[in-house]
Each structure stands twice: as structure tokens, then as C-alpha cells.
Structure 1
């Protein structure tokens, strides 16, 4: 089969992927809605941009420390137990924020919801990657699964912004709290089989995985994608708040980015049929840098929506190709741990980037932040050429 062409998924595999996507959407949407709600609530309570940046960063903080244990736990136990524990943590965080909407409790909510979403994502990515029978089929599977976070951050922020405007912050937390239950119910229907856990501790160390060919370059390219994503997610609420936009308008702008991600991921298999994975990753990250530098010139809410959609379409190309290449260069019995390393490096930046952006924005204003981070992303994209010699199968 020519490289880049996707195998048909088949009826049974297609339904398993559909259930996995639906479950992840429910859990991730609750986290995305909580991120917007906590940020706007903290701003309305008079906290500084630096404090809000620290709050948003905590959605990723738990994932930094939890990723490797979660990956190893998924390698040993499969899908269902990690999903169960993640759902319990997310519901607990949302209910606590509704009951006591103070800054320390919002931080706890961010830790619980962020950690739950990260652990569930690792288990799910490992599960669906092992369901695929061929590398080409794996690219298609990851393309569809990657639409779940995109759909979630359409639903989560848009719904949260609407609820906040019409019923308040506590109502937003309470309405989002039951959403993760659907993820647990859908995970109960999964047939794990060969995708289940080994029950044994992994052989080798994490450094062995990091020394695998092309792993470090692949992680760096994914890191540049994450930096761009975090910049947009943090700076849009800040810029919207300074321009006097309503919560529902800010949520709509963020939702446009997610809509762009979802739309382009439907077409990613067509792109992959004509472009090498390394080239698609490199071009997407470079174009994201250009768009970020141009974003401060958006003169209106509509222009911000268009810019957000373009950024989403550009970044949306990257993750499916990264996940597919990651499975190709990783030992089969350590894929959960490899996925955890990717998530840990991404979220380590997600912890620091909002804090840095909050502090820098207070000094230089939003435009300077967009220009500096866009240039870093554009220059960093040139590293993608080193992936040119990575093996391509299928």
C-alpha cells in the first residue's frame, strides 16, 4: 500500500473509535469549560493577570507529575481503571469549585480536572493505537481520535461562557460536573483484548525511550505546537477582557480555534496521502508562528474568530502525525510510557508558559507577547527537517 493512504477501519473498529471519541469529548469538555470559568472568575474577583496565569497553568501542572505514573499504569492495567479514576477526580474538582469558589479551591479544581484529563488521554491513546492493525490504519485512527479534544474545546468554553452570562459561575461548574460520567459509561463498553495491560513493570528506563531514534526531535516539534496552543488559550481571554468582550464572545473565539482543529483533522488523511509526515509537521508549525505574529492586528471580534480558526487549522495537523510517528519508533510494550513522556514535556511547558505570559503581558502588553512567541515558533519549526529520515511504514 502506498505510504499515507488510510486503510478502511472496518465496522467493529469504527464503533470502538467512535465510543472512545465520545468519552474523551465528555471528559475533556468539562476540563476546557472549567479552564475558562476559573480564569474569568479569578479576573472578576480582581486577581492579577499573573495570578490568573498561575491558575491556568495548574490545569497542566498535575499532568507533569502524573504523566509517567499514568502511562505505566495504563501499560499494566489497560483502559478501564485509568478512566474510572480520572472521572472521579474530575467530578470532585468541579463540585468543590461550585461549593467554594475561592482562589485556592479553583487551583485544586484545576489540578484535579487537568490531571484527570491527562491520565485518561494517555490510556485512550494507548488503547486506540493498539487497536489499529497497520501503520496506515493507525494514522487514520489517531486523526479521528485527535478530533475529540477539538470538539471538546468547542463545546466546553462555548457552553461555559453561555452559562456564566445567564446563570453565573457556580451554575457553570455544577452543570459541567456530570459530563465525565458519560466517559466512564462508554469505557465500560470497550473490549480491550490485546490492548489490555501487561500486569508487569516495564523493562528498561525512561532514558532508554528518550534515546530512541528521532524521539527528541519529535518531542520538540510537539512542544512548539503546545507553546502555540497555550499562548492562544491564555492570551485570548486576557485580550478579550481588556477589550471589554463578554464571556460568551471570548468563548466563541476559543471555540472557533477548536472548530478549525476539528475541520482540518477530518481532511488530514488526504493531506497525509500527498505529504510526508515530517513535512506536514514542519510546515504546520512554521505557519502557526506566522499567524501568531499577525494575531494582534485583528481589529474586531470577527477578525479574532477568523484568526483563531486559522491557528486551529494549522495546529490541528500536527498531533495525529506526531502520535502516529511516536508509535512507529516506540517498543510495543512501552507505548503508554512513551505517550506519557510526550504529555509530560508538553505540560511542563503548559505550566510555565501561562505564568511567563502573564508576567510579560503586564510589562509589554499582548502584542509583544504574540510577536516574540510567534518568532520562537517560526524559527523552531526548522528542526522538523531532521525527521526526514525517520522510518515510514504502511
Structure 2
């Protein structure tokens, strides 16, 4: 049977809510814990961010070469590919605390492995650390996103909630590398890795501030839980996943191409950093704007607009003049791509049953992380075989398909089949 929409809980529901126009947590016990949920995500993600930047610089300092950096970076996305579906089932069955606990243990073990690798010069142990830290985020993030979705009482609050969820990794990506860099400069690599060890402990301490509640029973087929793949029978969910993967790949394409184009235009390293920074800043600002004006946004109209803007920027990006032109183009692209995650997550929670939100989030994680592993290698091969900015043109053409998918997610698909209304 095609999954129907998630029913929207009202004020009298036993589901927690988020009150206020700006998405401020409401009076219920679970709602007051909303900041703790976001802070848990920041701490878990910061463990990965600290380990990622410190491990990269450590292997370069030890003379292992740039290819080793690329290998370690890819390992952060490998574990989520294998763990996302399992993490979704775990979250649907046990709720928030058990998956976050598993993620915290994995992050702690990964950070300890990185610390030991730096002390004893063991590259294989550093690779294991990257796998564990990437997997930690995959397992914990699904449960955190699911819990955050339960704190919204309607579609407008879903967009606000998931804008805050999207801001969590952005905040950790902004702060964690700076903190790690300062520690490396003034106290050495081991101190930066030690910071990574502390962050999963902080994440679990924050998670304990979130009240426990029993998840609804999962749907069964022949006495067994329905497989996550069964959700793909819902056309609305399939189209949302296509949009999510395409826009995530555009993010990867931009990250890949900016250093290449910047080098070709003779920009300095700081200039290239400013171009990338303008993208990240715009993505953060648009998510803050969604928090404020979520009640005025239609998710699918916003997604279609974002796809159109992204296509236009990708097509002309290579000819933008100088550093200022690239910064403006990156900022516009950052606004378009940064708006996608809150909208997709909000819609995803509306088209899937409440007892299967974890599985839907796991499918999304599997799809997006698979693209993250595969796309950079494909971009490199394409750029080497043609021109450096060819990946941007490729993604612009792929977004034509994403635009088609966005137009297929009609109100009739969102309302579910007649027997489930």
C-alpha cells in the first residue's frame, strides 16, 4: 500500500509542539528541549568537523600526499551509505536516545582512534577514525531530525524546525575548524584531536536533557516491520529524493569547481576562501530567513524557484568577472541550495507516516551520501577530460530533471490515497 501523509498533530495531541511565530519552543517538556536537540546535533557534527580538518592537515604534515587527504575525506561519507537505513529503523523503533547514544559512542571511539593515530603515526587507524566519525553523524542525525519533526504542530512549524536543524551543521562547520586550527597552531595536533574526544561526551550530556517518549508502533507486514524500500512506492517521496540528491550534488560541484576556477583566474588562496565563504554565509542566512517567514512559504514553489535560480547560476558561473563576480554568484547559488534542506525535510515528514519518519530520513541519507561519495570522483574525471567548469554544466542539465520532479509533487500526491485520508 502506498504510504499516506503524516497526520498533523493539533494542540491537544500528545505530540510535542513548537510555539510562536519564530519557532520558539513551546511550553511542553519536550518542546523546551528543542535547543538541546539542536545543540546535540552541533556537538556530534563538530566532532566530525574537527576530526576531518585535523586529520587532513596531519596527513599533509606527515608527507602522505594530497591523494591521502582525498581518501580520508571520502571515508567520512562511506559509513553513512551503509548505516543510514539501519539508523532509520533504529530511530523508528527506539526514538531519540538509543540512536544518539550509538552515534556518541561511535564518535568517541573515532576521536580516540584519531588521537592514538597521531601519537603513534598510524595511518590505517586514522582511516578507521574517519569511518567512525562519519558513521556517528549518520546514526545520530536521523534520530535528531526525526525528533525535531515531532516538535512541529503544523507545516509552517516544520519549515522553521528544519531550518534550525540545517543551521546546526553550518554552525559546527564554521566554529569547529577555527577552534581546531587554533589548537593545532598553539598546542599541536594531539590537542585538536583531544577536542574531538570531548565533543561526543558533550553531545550525550545534551541528549540526556531531552525527555524520553515511546515511539508509536511500526507498521508490520507478516509480523515484521515494513522495509524502508517500501516507502519508494510513494511517488511524492521518490520525487523529493530526486530533488534532494540533485541539489546536494550541485553543492558538491560548486565545492569542487571553485578552487579550480579560482586558480585559473589567478585568485589567491584567501580570495578562493572568500568565494567559498560567501556561499556558506548565504546558505546560513537563507535558513535564518526561513525560520522568520516560514508561514509565508509554499515548500514546492520555493523548491521550484531554487532549482531555477541554481540552473541559471551554474550555466553562467564560469564567466563571472573576477573575485567579486564569483562571490556574488556563489552567494546567489548558496541561497538557492541552502533553502532546499528545510523544504525537503518538511515535505518528507508530510508524505510519510509518523511511525516511518526514521526510515524515510534513512533513505534520504543513503541517497545523498551515495552521491557525495560518487560525484567528486566523477567531477574530477569530467573536468580532466573536458574543461574545468564542465561539472557545473552537467549539474545544470541534471536540474532540468529535478525541476520536472518538483512539478510532479502536486497537492494530490501530498494528500495520499483515498483509503488513507
If the TM-score is normalised by the length of the shorter chain, which range does it land in?
Answer: 0.7 to 0.9
Counterparts of 1:352 and 1:11, CA distance in 2: 44
Which is further off, 56-65 or 308-317? Answer: 308-317
Structure 1 residue 28, shift from structure 2 partner: 0.9
Residues 1:373 and 2:395 are matched in the alignment: yes
The 3 A distance-change label for structure 1 pair 261 and 233 is same
Q: Which runs of 5+ in 2 are unaligned?
A: 1-7, 9-17, 417-421
Does the aligned pair in 1 maintain the 2:256–2:376 contact within 8 Å? Answer: yes
Partner deviation per Cα, 1:245-300 (whole Å, 9 max, x = no partner): 66x87766555433322211121155544442112112213322333444445666
Partner deviation per Cα, 1:11-59 (whole Å, 9 max, x = no partner): 446532211111111211222333344445555635355x544432221
Q: Which residue number in structure 1 is paired with residue 378 of structure 2?
A: 356
Structure 1 residue 170, shift from structure 2 partner: 4.5
Counterparts of 2:349 and 2:380, CA distance in 1: 35
Partner deviation per Cα, 1:60-114 (whole Å, 9 max, x = no partner): 1111110111111111211112112212211222332233255433332221111
Q: What secondary structure, in the 3-state scheme, does the structure 2 residue paired with 1:133 have?
A: coil
Q: Which residue number in structure 2 is paired with residue 220 of structure 1?
A: 242
Structure 1 residue 148, shift from structure 2 partner: 0.9
Does the aligned pair in 1 maintain the 2:267–2:323 contact within 8 Å? Answer: no
User: Residue 166 of structure 2 is aligned with which of 146, 149, 160?
Assistant: 146
Q: What secondary structure, in the 3-state scheme, does the structure 1 residue paired with 2:33 have?
A: helix
Does the aligned pair in 2 maintain the 1:143–1:269 contact within 8 Å? Answer: yes
Counterparts of 2:143 and 2:385, CA distance in 1: 41
Counterparts of 1:121 and 1:239, CA distance in 2: 33
Does the aligned pair in 2 maintain the 1:143–1:265 contact within 8 Å? Answer: yes
Counterparts of 2:297 and 2:202, CA distance in 1: 37
User: Residue 79 of structure 1 is aligned with which of 88, 96, 112?
Assistant: 96
The 3 A distance-change label for structure 1 pair 100 and 358 is farther
Q: Which residue number in structure 2 is paired with residue 133 of structure 1?
A: 153
Which is further off, 374-383 or 82-91? Answer: 374-383
The 3 A distance-change label for structure 1 pair 379 and 133 is closer
The 3 A distance-change label for structure 1 pair 220 and 372 is same
Partner deviation per Cα, 1:209-264 (whole Å, 9 max, x = no partner): 11024111010001112112223345556777897866x87766555433322211
Does the aligned pair in 1 maintain the 2:236–2:414 contact within 8 Å? Answer: no
Structure 1 residue 358, shift from structure 2 partner: 3.6
Does the aligned pair in 2 maintain the 1:62–1:111 contact within 8 Å? Answer: yes
Partner deviation per Cα, 1:344-366 (whole Å, 9 max, x = no partner): 11111111112223444444464
Rg: which structure is higher? 2
Counterparts of 2:72 and 2:398, CA distance in 1: 24
Counterparts of 1:164 and 1:370, CA distance in 2: 35
Does the aligned pair in 2 maintain the 1:223–1:345 contact within 8 Å? Answer: yes
Aligned ranges 1:123-202 → 2 under 5 Å: 123-164=143-184, 169-195=189-215
Q: How many residues align?
A: 387
Does the aligned pair in 2 maintain the 1:154–1:256 contact within 8 Å? Answer: no
Residues 1:257 and 2:279 are matched in the alignment: yes
User: Residue 56 of structure 1 is aligned with which of 73, 83, 86?
Assistant: 73
Aligned ranges 1:72-111 → 2 under 5 Å: 72-101=89-118, 103-111=123-131
Q: Which residue number in structure 2 is paired with residue 283 of structure 1?
A: 305
Q: TM-score, normalised by structure 2?
A: 0.79
Counterparts of 1:245 and 1:269, CA distance in 2: 35
User: Residue 313 of structure 1 is aligned with which of 322, 335, 342?
Assistant: 335
Does the aligned pair in 1 maintain the 2:219–2:226 contact within 8 Å? Answer: no
Counterparts of 2:190 and 2:379, CA distance in 1: 27
Residues 1:332 and 2:354 are matched in the alignment: yes
Residues 1:47 and 2:65 are matched in the alignment: yes
